[in-house]
Each structure stands twice: as structure tokens, then as C-alpha cells.
């Protein structure tokens, strides 16, 4: 792949099918590793959001009436465009957010699959009808209307697809706000969105969460809110939805347990997969398996192998194909992760890593050594989401106590189990309070499998056919063949 990607000098919102802005303010998109400015982006505000919502509202009747097969065909066109431009989009993300060029193409392939999945799923997403004496009872699915969507910076391609694919497939129009730290690949996607979809169906307004995000959340013409991000902001958006009685779907944080049983075969492979679970996406993933529960019988051997693997992970430039761990997205995130590491050094035992790494030619980047701590489940680093390549290792022997600890955080997004025993796998999967349970392979995302969390990890499920339920409502129609006989005289 060629790292010499050409960017537009300036990117504007997509409103009503046109690249335009009502704000005269902008912000810089910078290379996360080098600090070089890549482009400027309009800092959208309330005026841009108002215009985008108005465009989406105007486009709604025609789009909602568009046959589902035609909507599906346009989603397939979008998938085709992403496939054609995948290498360029992947390099843009590597530069913009510091993810490695070995990872970012995977994001866009997942996005392609999402566009195609919902194009197919929408065709069969219908209501029902039942004959009743003298007529029919019908339940009809209808789109909710204008949808406001806000996404984070860690996997922008996936998050964009997670949001717009089901919303459009179900017949809604939308306004999407990308994160200010990772807007470029989404704004590049606007080239295709403007060419493929009717004006106003898809609108994209970049900007700050406290400005564009707040205006979108509070807009009276937005009929549904969808958010992925922190639990703190998620609660604010949930309150905003409650105030206006509009549905809200939330995908929030995680502090996922990854459990190793002593009966597991192929220990080196398990070690490798557990390391991958904690460091993929530079650890900046709500799914990350950041609490590793190791059984006492294999603890010392496993930890020794894990230390060796972590110390062998290549930290380097995100655009170098040999790099396995890039940099964090920003100085703010880097300082946050180092603060967690500092507290870990006070309350836990550092096994390896624990410092900022220097990468020549990338001095602006916040590269963090892959870090492992031995700790217990009550420590700060085991309880709070760090969003960096930091793994907490917890020893266990008593099964029931381990399950209590695995569930003993505010989140419940994902989890992992390594075992050669089917009974261990199934009884543990049943007891874990997590929306996703992966047995013997972490991050084993399968198209069509529900994705979402328990309690503090959010509301609703994405990535599956049931997601279309979140973007539609049921209307009841009861039809009688004739008017009943008179009741009064």
C-alpha cells in the first residue's frame, strides 16, 4: 500500500447531497503518529445540523416509499465502492488514528459485509398478517423517520457501517456525526454517498460532540438516536431521548473477561490469541479482552509465555506493514493510558511494558509498550476501561468465585473462554453477563450475530437482523370484510 495518500485541502459536511457548510470554523485532522496536518475539516455546529436534519426530513417520504429491493441495490453499490477504494481508505485510517495498516483493511471488509448483510436482511424484514373471522390482522413495519447517529474514533469504518446500513435499509433518512479525531475516511465515503443515494437521505456533519453532537441529540425532528462511545456520554444521550420520548440505542464501554481453563489444548495458541484480544486496535476497543483470568494450575507457565509474546510485539509506524502495535489516537488518550499504568504500578505487579515507546520519525505519536500487570479484580486497572494495550491478569481456582469476578464490573459487552471441555464452555457462557461470548477464539465476529451489551455496556443489538427492529416500528392494521351489524336500534 502507498502511504502517499492525497487528501482534499478541506472537507465540508454532506448536507442534502452537497458538500457545504454554514460554519466558518474548522479544525485540523492530523497524522496521529507524526503530527503532520492532513487536512482541515469544517467544525459543524447547530446551523449545519439544522440544515442536515431539514434535508433528511424532506427526503424521508420518498426514501421510505422506495421499494426495499431498490434500497438494497444502493447499499450493494456502496459496498462495491468501498471494495474498490479499500486500500486508500485503510491507509487514511492508519494515518488518521494510528491503527496499523495490517488492521485497518479488516475494518473496511467488515463494513462491506455490513452493507451487503443489511441489503439482504431488509428484504425479508416484514411484519405479519393473520386471518381473523371476517378479516385480517396485520402488523406493518415502518421506518422511524430521521435518525441522529454519533460514532467514535477507534474503528470509524465499522462504526459508520454499523449505523447507516440498517437505518437506510429500513427506510430511514439520517444525519451522522463522526468523531472529530477520526473523520477523514467517513468524509471520503461521502463521495460515494452523494453519488449513490438521493439528496438528503444520508447527511454527515463533522464537529465537536459538545456542539454538533449536542445539537443533533436535542433536535426535535430527530425520531431516533443511535450512539457508540463512552458510558458517560451515553447516559447523557439516553436522558435526551427520554426527555423527548424517542428511542435510543447505545453501544458503550467494556471491560471484558477472558477466561482460561486448565484443560485447554495448544497453550501457545491460546497465549497468542489472548495477547491479540488485549492489543488489537492498539487496545482501543470496547471489545478488548483486558481482564485475563488464568487458572492456578497453568498460571505460572502461561504468564511466562504471555510475557514473551508481549515483549515480541513490534511497536512502530502505523503505515509499516511489519508493525503490530501502532500509536494511540491522541495525546489526550496517551496521557489517560499512562495515568492508568501509573496507578497499576502502585496497586499491582508490573510484568512487562509500562512506558511510552519512541518510534523514530513518529515523535508526535503516543506509542505505549504492550503492558501486562498481575492484579486482582478490585484494582482500578481491572475495573475501569483503559482503552490502551494494557492487560490485567487475575489468578483463579474457585469456579464460582471466578464467575462472580468476571461479572463484577459495570460493563457486559464481550467475553472469552478457552477450554477443551464442552460443558465448561456452555455452562460458563450461560453464566457470563455479556452480550458476546467467544469460545477458543477472541474477536470471532460473525456477520449476523448480535452485538451489544448488558447493563453499563448499552442498549440494543447491532450487526444482526434484529437491528432492523431498532430502526422500525410496528403499526397494527385490523381489517374487517364488512361493517358489523347495527348495535343501536
What angle is formed at CA 280 by the lines to CA 102 and CA 88, rounded to 5 degrees? 30
Contact 166/462 with Cβ under 8 angstroms? yes
Distance CA 54, CA 160 (A): 21
Say how far apart CA 272 and CA 463 lie, in whole Å: 26
Is residue 451 within 8 A of residue 465, CB to CB? The reply is no
Q: Is the dihedral of CA 376, 380, 383, 384 positive or negative?
A: negative
List CB contacts of 24: < 8 A, sequence separation 6 or more. Answer: none
257 forms beta bridges with 291
End-to-end CA distance of the chain: 83
Strands 248-251 vs 224-228: parallel, antiparallel or unpaired: parallel
User: Beta strand 135-143 with 128-132: parallel, antiparallel or unpaired?
Assistant: antiparallel
Report which of 414, 367, 375 is spatially closest to residue 391, judged by C-alpha positions.
375
CA angle 400, 403, 408 (to 5 degrees): 125
Strand spans (E) along 290-399: 291-295, 349-352, 356-357, 367-368, 371-374, 390-396
Of the listed 190, 281, 286, 327, which one is catalytic? 286
Residue 88: which of 184, 153, 165 has the closest Cα? 184
Nearest by Cα to 147 from 217, 42, 87: 217
Rg, C-alpha atoms of the chain: 24
DSSP 145-211: SEEEEE--SSSHHHHHHHHHHHHHHTT-EEEEE--TTS-HHHHHHHHHHHHHSPTTSEEE----III
- Give the active site residue among 12, 211, 251, 462: 251
CB atoms within 10 A of CB 129: 13
User: What DSSP state is assigned to residue 222?
Assistant: -
Q: Assess whether 251 carries a catalytic annotation.
A: yes
Give the whole-angstrom CA distance, residue 415 versus residue 255.
9
Sign of the alpha-carbon dihedral angle for 310, 154, 330, 234:
negative
Question: Quick count: other Cβ atoms within 10 Å of Cβ 96?
Answer: 27
Q: Which residues are catalytic?
A: 251, 286
Amino acid at each position: 500500500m502507498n502511504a502517499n495518500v492525497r487528501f482534499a485541502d478541506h472537507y465540508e459536511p454532506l448536507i442534502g447531497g452537497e458538500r457545504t457548510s454554514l460554519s466558518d470554523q474548522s479544525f485540523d485532522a492530523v497524522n496521529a503518529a507524526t503530527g503532520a496536518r492532513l487536512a482541515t475539516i469544517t467544525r459543524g455546529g447547530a446551523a449545519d445540523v439544522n440544515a442536515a436534519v431539514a434535508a433528511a426530513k424532506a427526503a424521508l417520504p420518498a426514501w421510505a416509499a422506495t421499494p426495499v429491493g431498490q434500497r438494497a441495490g444502493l447499499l450493494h453499490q456502496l459496498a462495491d465502492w468501498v471494495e474498490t477504494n479499500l486500500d486508500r481508505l485503510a491507509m487514511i485510517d492508519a494515518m488518521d488514528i494510528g491503527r496499523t495498516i495490517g488492521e485497518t483493511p479488516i475494518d473496511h471488509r467488515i463494513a462491506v459485509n455490513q452493507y451487503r448483510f443489511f441489503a439482504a436482511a431488509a428484504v425479508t424484514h416484514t411484519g405479519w398478517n393473520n386471518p381473523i373471522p371476517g378479516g385480517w390482522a396485520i402488523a406493518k413495519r415502518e421506518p422511524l423517520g430521521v435518525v441522529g447517529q454519533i460514532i467514535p474514533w477507534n474503528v470509524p469504518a465499522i462504526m459508520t457501517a454499523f449505523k447507516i446500513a440498517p437505518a437506510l435499509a429500513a427506510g430511514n433518512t439520517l444525519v451522522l456525526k463522526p468523531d472529530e479525531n477520526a473523520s477523514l475516511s467517513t468524509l471520503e465515503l461521502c463521495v460515494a454517498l452523494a453519488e449513490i443515494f438521493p439528496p438528503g437521505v444520508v447527511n454527515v456533519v463533522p464537529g465537536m460532540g459538545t456542539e454538533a453532537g449536542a445539537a443533533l441529540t436535542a433536535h426535535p425532528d430527530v425520531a431516533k438516536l443511535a450512539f457508540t462511545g463512552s458510558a458517560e456520554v451515553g447516559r447523557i444521550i439516553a436522558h435526551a431521548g427520554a426527555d423527548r420520548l424517542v428511542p435510543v440505542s447505545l453501544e458503550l464501554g467494556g471491560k471484558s473477561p477472558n477466561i482460561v481453563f486448565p484443560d485447554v489444548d495448544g497453550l501457545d495458541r491460546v497465549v497468542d490469541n489472548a495477547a491479540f484480544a488485549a492489543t488489537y486496535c492498539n487496545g482501543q476497543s470496547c471489545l478488548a479482552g483486558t481482564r485475563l483470568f488464568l487458572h492456578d494450575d497453568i498460571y505460572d507457565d502461561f504468564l511466562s509465555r504471555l510475557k514473551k509474546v508481549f515483549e515480541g510485539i513490534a511497536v512502530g509506524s502505523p503505515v509499516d506493514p511489519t508493525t503490530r502495535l501502532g500509536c494511540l489516537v491522541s495525546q489526550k488518550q496517551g496521557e489517560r493510558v499512562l495515568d492508568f499504568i501509573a496507578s497499576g504500578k502502585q496497586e499491582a505487579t508490573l510484568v512487562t511494558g509500562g512506558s511510552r515507546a519512541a518510534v523514530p520519525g513518529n515523535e508526535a505519536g503516543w506509542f505505549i509498550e504492550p503492558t501486562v500487570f498481575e492484579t486482582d479484580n478490585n484494582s482500578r486497572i481491572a475495573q475501569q476501561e483503559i482503552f490502551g494495550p494494557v492487560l490485567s491478569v487475575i489468578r483463579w481456582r474457585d469456579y464460582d468465585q471466578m464467575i462472580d469476578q468476571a461479572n463484577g464490573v459495570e460493563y457486559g459487552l464481550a467475553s472469552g473462554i478457552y477450554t477443551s471441555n464442552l460443558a465448561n464452555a456452555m455452562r460458563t457462557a450461560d453464566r457470563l453477563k455479556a452480550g458476546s461470548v467467544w469460545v477458543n477464539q477472541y474477536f470471532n465476529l460473525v456477520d449476523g450475530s448480535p452485538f451489544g451489551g448488558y447493563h453499563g455496556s448499552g442498549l440494543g443489538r447491532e450487526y444482526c437482523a434484529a437491528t432492523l427492529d431498532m430502526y422500525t416500528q410496528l403499526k397494527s392494521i385490523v381489517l374487517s370484510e364488512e361493517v358489523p351489524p347495527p348495535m343501536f336500534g
